[in-house]
Amino acid sequence: MSRLLRAALIWLVRIVVGAHPRYLAALTAGRQKIYFSNHTSHVDTMAILTALPARLRRTTRPVAARDYWDASPLRSWIARRVLNVVFVERQGRRRDAGDPLDPLRAALREGASLVIFPEGTRGMGPEPGPFKSGLYRLAREFPDVELIPVHLANLNRVMPKGKVIPVPLLCRVGFGAPLERLPGEEKDAFLARARDAVISIGKT
């Protein structure tokens, strides 16, 4: 049942927003990946999953904020049973939550690939905001996982912040070449380079 609903959601996203993939480099199977993207709407996660080849989608889990997706029984059911979400506690929401990256680490150790939005929340501008440190920390701890920049175009117009009904509009999902790790690179330099990689896809 859950698999059928997931397939139905992917079909619906294709009909409403297109989510046409654009590959600047081939997405190879056989290696775990962290897809990191700009974030402008609630449709972003489904757009990325829809654009992924089926063989990669099967092992990919989106990361989402627990306070939003656990806010109602329906959202929670969709997140857990349909999308197989990895929940993360946003900093400051719960003092006893521990390290918010722990669920992501567990999923990576289990062999999953992840979809994350390093801004931490949806942006309002034409370019993503500063990236938070989570991507840097995961990149250091899991050096064999590929880091794939993703740029979403037009998703902010389909379902902007504050809206609940999507507007049909063709959107693109751009996948860039894996981001290389540079020996000794400091956190701020890495995060700026990762952000630039996402922005550059949208300009290509």
> What local confidence, expressed as pLDDT, does residue 169 receive?
55
- To the question of pTM greater than 0.95 for the whole model, the response is no
Indicate the pairing of strand 60-65 with strand 172-175.
unpaired
Residues of the chain with pLDDT > 90: what percent? 51
Q: Give CA–CA dist 45/61, Å, rounded.
A: 10
Residues 6+ apart with CB under 8 A from 201: 24, 149, 150, 151, 174, 175, 176
> What local confidence, expressed as pLDDT, does residue 141 receive?
97
Sketch out the chain's domains with CATH numbers.
2-203 (3.40.1130.10)
pLDDT tops 50 at residue 168: no
